[in-house]
Structure 1
Amino acid sequence: MFVFGLLSLLVTVGLPILVVVLVLRARSGRAGRPADGVSIRRFFQYLLLYVLTVVAVTGVADLLGRAVGGAPATADEGELARVLAFAVLGVPMAAGVAAWTRRGLRRDPGERASTAWAFYLWAASLTALGVAAAEAQQGLAAAFAGRADAAPLVRALVWLSVWTVHVLLGERTLTVSARAPHLAAGSLVGLVLTVTGLVQLGGTAGRLALDTGHAVVAQDVANAGALAVVGGLVWSAYWWGRYRRAEPDRLWLAYVLPVGVGGPFVVALVGAAIALAAVGVWFLGEPDETSAAAHFAGVPGAATAVVVGLCAWWYHRRVFSRAAPPGRTEITRAHEHLMAGIALVTAALGVVIGLRAVGDAVAGAASDPPANTFLLAATLLVVGTPVWWHFWGRAQRERRAQPDVEVRSVTRRLYLFLLFGVGALTGVVAVLVTGFVTIEAALRGDLGRATLTDVGTPLALLVTAAAVSGSHWVVYREDRALAVDRVPAAAAPTFPRDVLLLGPDDDALVRSVHDAGARVEVWVRPPEAVHGAGWDTAAVLGLLAQHPGGAVAVVLDDAGPSVVPVEAVRRPWVRAGAEPGHDVGRDRRAQ
């Protein structure tokens, strides 16, 4: 068993390390510079520091938890040996690697700016945060349920101390942009925990109020309440205390828009669909339960999801609106198309369920009452269609009002391409699955209603995907045709395309010719060849204006500048004043 465990450790730990080493060496080779080993050393150093930190803190936290709460009843000598080994051996090893890392950070400023150091701080902070949140939730749940259990709270305090140390290290050593991914991840964790805890709290409290006979509903309420409290603290520490006031860059907007606005909106839609479906089945369908309390046991949680989701959506929508620039921008379009896409997927799911129900009814093999299935499909359509109509209709109205701007929008094109591509891919997979099931049944000689049941879902996906993909492809083609019709005719050239200057080096002339729209190359002639003459910028520009659209060489001699039309065979042209970091002088040739 020891050998198998060792082999497993080598595969699970050694293989990823080997892959990283090979990637780093390949990158060094492509860059054309020798691999100095710094990146590999940093990777191993911070990986070792992370592993030893987790081991040492786990041992110390478990020892303190045992000291406060006593050893668990199921504890054995092996478990105690693990805890002692982690604490006694892990702490000094972690301290040694930490001291080595501290000296490196002080001696070499490049260590602080390295990606490996930033990744270590992110990983260590988020790991400590996750363990502390789990332990705190366990301890608070016990307290809410009326039981005293101090061990989880002590372990949570130990991990919280580790989290605090690494957060402070990040504040001192990382730039604002390097701290942003950690803040975004922490805000995401806090938001998910808070929303999940509140939804579970509303659902368990509702079941308790309905008295559905749930055996451990009181403990469920305590667990959900503790999760909501812990999530709220995490979200407040990360988002409200820090990330809320950050610069609204791409990462910030990526958190606020898809996560803060889109995520709660999905929660609200799902909750509304569940609640409406339960109501519809009770009054119009065939409920499985005869008791109203048992049938509506999931409605309190669904209703809570609607309330919590809408509140979180409204809050982040306000934050997003304040950060977005005034007027209609790509950020505004991204919000509209995100909401329209979520609602469209919801409505499309309703269509798929409805078509599958029709196929089951025809085949006579429905596992659920057809009325219930049709009610669920109708509920999804009722929930998703109005929302999609609102946001997509707004985008279409803007397209009709400002076609020149809207049809060239990156967000709109991405939305249309994404829906067309996902729909096409779904359709291809559905066709393959349908063909496989049908051919297999035909080879068995078993074609019949059972086959229709088996291909019901793929066929429903195929029809729905074809409708979604086809309709958005039509919209995209209309946008493309409109964009082509509105492209202004190309103006006739008024200046040469390429210019070769033969004479003294004159940055002002090069810049003027480049700004006029030509690609410029300078060949410097010796001073004795031009007898000290210099360029007359106005005269050169006047001569060049007489040769629009071609390639010319401008030669400076005793008689002044003269233009010779040429034909460029090779094009090593250099744009004067080009991109930052481009060495223009390196490409200028001396004649």
Structure 2
Amino acid sequence: MSIAEAPAPQPPAPNPPPVARGAQATVRRLILTLLLLVLVTIAASGVSGLLGRLLQTEADLGDPIAGLALSLAFTLIGGPLAVLVWWWLWRRLDGTDRSSVAWGLYLSAVATISLIVFSTSLLGAIADLVRGTWSPDAVATGVAWLAVWILHRIMWAHPTKSPLRLARVPIALGAGYGLGVAALGAIRVLEAVFAEATLPSVGSVGGAWWLSPLQAAIWAVGGAGIWWWHWRRDGAVAMRGGFPDVALVLTGVLGAGAVALGGFGVSLWIGLRAALDRSLPWRDLLEPLPLAVAAAAVGVVVWLSHRRVATERSAGTRSATRLVEAGLGLIAAASGVGIIANALLASLTPSLAGGDARALLLGGLASLAVGAPVWWAAWHPLDTAAHAADAGRRVYLVAVFGVSALVAIVALLVVGYRVFELVLDGGAGEGLVERIRAPFGLLLATAAVAGYHFAVWRRDRAAAPTTGRVRSIGRIILVAGGDDTSLAQQLEAATGAPVTRWTRADAQRADAHRPDASADAVLRALEGVSGRRVLVVTGRDGAVEAVPLVD
């Protein structure tokens, strides 16, 4: 065959697109982890059912055969299937599966669920023992899910198969859950003690009065132990950035602050009614006081302690803490304004008793008196330029303006509906003021909030200092190993661009606290680089590469 007659070489067959392979692998991981979650739940339910039967001391009044058959099926079928799926996943964690979101999400979900189930079951069973009640089902459920929690904690701490992503989520969630259980238990203890001190019961129902606070103390101690385990032993107190800071602000500042302000507001309202409104018997008036005082005491302790921790975190966390406190004070103050307007309108109608109008008015005054100082201290309304350039403040202003405007529109629609209803039914029933006083008070408060924050937003935008530097980078995607939180913060401060942090799959736990490169090295690599998105890759030898990405 001559050269001219030789067939032309065929191009190589194209490889499968990597995006398809990645999508298939992601779907596979999600399906397997979801299947494992379901099978672990089934197996734990079966084991707890069998163990509950062993601990049962009384005859089962239901259908014992059906219950036993179900527990055996869950244990002997669901258990081996769970082990099989776990083995299939476990042997692949040396590769890319270890750095997948699915693996970290699975361990976070199961660790949190098992922690909640076993702690509530065991603490409830111990509390029942105080009153002489044996709860075998609760003990069995607690023991079974405690075993699940321990096994998944071992997997979470494995040196070569632990998750590389979302690894801090179960620690932050566990600390927040333990804090909530401890705080609620402490509130119940103080409520019972204060109630016995201020409103002693003639005869305790179901036993001595101290049984209820003793049961609550068990929950408080158990929750404190869970919190200490995650906060101190697992190192949640030392975690910086990302989800741990979000959990700190949400649980320790937002949650505790709301409880404290609610307790202070109700306590002040009761005090004002005791001084200015005697329409209720003394005992009925003081009945909510023990719970309010207990909530205020516990809430303010948790709030201030976590606020102190937040001040030691990043500038973004400190700003978020301040804005959350401002939002809490704003909600309380605006609610007080709305209630005051409602009470003033109610005083004009003869259909509402004067004592109820006074109670409404005093409640609004109490809410305003509690919320306004907190908002003033956190927001600094007279300091017009100190926080004008804060990005979090701008987001807060837009969010508050949007939400309050939406609520004002809804309230306006309700007012219009009530007016048209009055016109169409010929004036029968309640009068106009009685119909619209509640939504009209809400409309006034939310409209004032929306107008004020819109004006502040416009003022801050005009007063924001200009740096004289045109931002040439829209977003930085930082790929590094180790703890790159401080590196990301320095890059944000130097470039003004938000930083998305990715962790390399080959990052080792031994290097978890040592970043690959310094901020100076990264900034040198970014000199002259511009683009909406820039990929920054740091190497173990300190090398840095900055690559602009095409949209």
What interval of TM-score do these two structures reach, taking the shorter chain for normalisation?
0.7 to 0.9
Aligned-partner Cα distance in 2 for 1:31–1:390: 54
The structure 2 residue matched to 1:141, chosen from 127, 130, 148, is 127
Q: Does 1:419 align with 2:405?
A: no
Q: Could you say if the C-alpha distance between residues 396 and 55 of structure 1 is closer, same or farther in structure 2, counting changes exceeding 3 Å?
A: same
Q: Take 2:321 and 2:205, find their aligned partners in 1: how far apart are those partners?
A: 44
Q: What secondary structure is seen at the aligned counterpart in 1 of 2:92?
A: helix
Deviations 1:398-419 (A, max 9, x none): x4xxx3x632211221222222
Assess if the C-alpha contact under 8 Å between 1:286 and 1:371 holds in 2: no
1:51 aligns with 2:38: yes
Listed as ranges, the matches of 1:428-577 within 5 Å are: 428-446=409-427, 449-483=430-464, 487=466
Secondary structure class of the residue paired with 2:402 = helix
Contact residue 208 and residue 218 of structure 1 kept, 8 A: no
Residues 268 and 307 of structure 1 are in contact (CA less than 8 Å); yes or no, is this contact kept in structure 2?
yes
1:188–1:432 Cα change, 3 Å: same
Residue equivalent to 2:347: 361
Q: Provide the residue aligned with 1:296 in structure 2.
A: 286
Deviation readout 1:152-209 (Å, 9 max, x if unpaired): 3343222112101101211223346521122122122111111111112211233344
Query: Which one-letter code corresponds to 2:62 in the other structure?
Result: A
Question: Who is 1:504 aligned against?
Answer: none
Q: Deviations over 1:69-116 (max 9, x none)?
A: 3356443233333223222322222222223223333xx511222222
- Decide whether aligned partners of structure 1 residues 64 and 423 sit closer, same or farther in structure 2, where only a CA change above 3 A counts: same
Whether the 8 Å CA contact 1:344–1:384 is kept in 2: the answer is: yes
- Which residue of 2 is the match for residue 552 of structure 1? none
If asked which structure has higher relative contact order (CA below 8 Å, sep 6+), I would say 2
1:169 aligns with 2:155: yes
1:93 to 81, 91, 95: 81
Partner of 2:312: 322
2:175 alignment counterpart: 187
What's the CA shift string for 1:334-369, capped at 9, x where partnerless?
Answer: 332221221111011111111112222223333771
CA distance in 1, matches of 2:31, 2:165: 24
What are the within-5 Å matches in structure 2 for residues 254-403 of structure 1?
A: 254-288=246-280, 290-292=281-283, 294-324=284-314, 329-366=315-352, 369-393=356-380, 396-397=382-383, 399=384, 403=385
Taking a change above 3 Å as real, the CA distance of residues 101 and 490 of structure 1, as seen in their structure-2 partners, is closer
Query: CA, structure 1 residues 303+586, in 2 after alignment: closer, same or farther (shift >3 Å)?
Result: closer
Q: Return the index of the structure with the highest Cα Rg.
A: 1
Matched position secondary structure for 1:37: helix
User: How far 1:481 moved relative to its partner?
Assistant: 2.6
Q: Using a 3 Å threshold, how does the CA distance of structure 1 residues 343 and 586 change in structure 2: closer, same or farther?
A: closer
Could you tell me which residue of structure 1 aligns to residue 503 of structure 2? none
SS of the residue 1:168 aligns to: helix
Instruction: Using the TM superposition, give the Cα deviation of residue 578 of structure 1 relative to its aligned residue in structure 2, in angstroms.
Output: 6.5
**In the TM superposition, what are the counterparts of 1:201-240 in structure 2 within 5 Å?**
201-209=189-197, 210-212=199-201, 215-216=205-206, 220-240=212-232
Distance 2:350 2:530 in 1: 74
* SS of equivalent to 1:178: coil
Deviation at 1:47, TM superposition (A): 1.5
2:117 to 108, 117, 131: 131
Cα distance in 1 for partners of 2:128, 2:53 equals 17
Q: Distance in 2 between matches of 1:133 and 1:189?
A: 10
The structural deviation recorded for 1:453 is: 2.2
- Cα displacement (A) at 1:476: 2.1
Change (3 A) 1:425 1:149: closer
Q: Aligned equivalents of 1:148 and 1:222: distance in 2?
A: 17
1:462 to 1:117, Cα distance in 2 relative to 1, 3 A: same
Q: Distance in 1 between matches of 2:530 and 2:165?
A: 34
Distance between the aligned counterparts of 1:76 and 1:417, measured in 2?
59
155, 168, 189: which one aligns with 2:141: 155
Q: Which amino acid aligns with 2:252?
A: G
Query: Equivalents in 2 of 1:585, 1:351: separation in Å?
Result: 52
Q: Distance in 1 between matches of 2:127 and 2:254?
A: 30
Distance 1:298-1:124 versus aligned 2 partners, 3 A rule: same
Quote the Cα distance in structure 2 between the aligned partners of 1:584 and 1:338: 37
471 and 65 in structure 1: CA distance in 2 versus 1, 3 angstrom threshold: same
Whose helix proportion is higher, 1 or 2? 1
In structure 1, how many angstroms separate the alpha carbons of the residues matched to 2:549 and 2:360? Answer: 73
Structure 2 CA distance for partners of 1:320 and 1:381, relative to 1, 3 Å: same
Is the 1:184–1:243 Cα contact (8 Å) retained in structure 2?
no
**CA apart distance, 1:46:** 1.5
How far apart, CA to CA, are the structure 1 residues paired with 2:60 and 2:467? 81
Q: Retained in 1: the 8 A contact 2:99–2:164?
A: no
The answer to whether the 8 Å contact 1:353/1:377 transfers is yes
Distance 1:207 1:38, change over 3 A: same
Maintained 8 Å contact 1:198/1:224 = yes
Kindly indicate whether the alpha-carbon contact (under 8 Å) linking 1:137 and 1:223 is maintained by their aligned counterparts in 2: no
Q: Which runs of 5+ in 1 are unaligned?
A: 1-28, 492-572
Structure 2 gaps, min length 5: 1-15, 471-528, 538-544
For 2:99, give the aligned amino acid: A
Aligned residues: 461
Shift of the alpha carbon at 1:220? 3.5
What's the secondary structure of 1:136's corresponding residue?
Answer: helix
The 2-side partners of 1:448 and 1:295 are apart by: 31
Letter in 2 for 1:278: I
2:96 is equivalent to residue 104 of structure 1: no
CA RMSD of aligned residues (A): 3.2
SS in 1 for 2:249: helix
* Distance verdict in 2 for CA 1:71–1:453, change over 3 Å: same
Distance change >3 Å, CA 412–CA 67, structure 1 → 2: same
**Cα distance in 1 for residues equivalent to 2:549 and 2:258:** 56
The alpha-carbon deviation at position 150 of structure 1 amounts to: 5.4
Structure 2: how far apart are the matches of 1:80 and 1:414? 56
How big is each residue's C-alpha offset from its partner over 1:531-586, in whole Å with a ceiling of 9 and x where there is no partner? xxxxxxxxxxxxxxxxxxxxxxxxxxxxxxxxxxxxxxxxxx998x9754899899
Structure 1 pair 363/94, CA: closer, same or farther in 2 (3 Å)?
same
Paired residue type of 2:336: G
Q: State the shift of 1:436 in Å.
A: 2.1
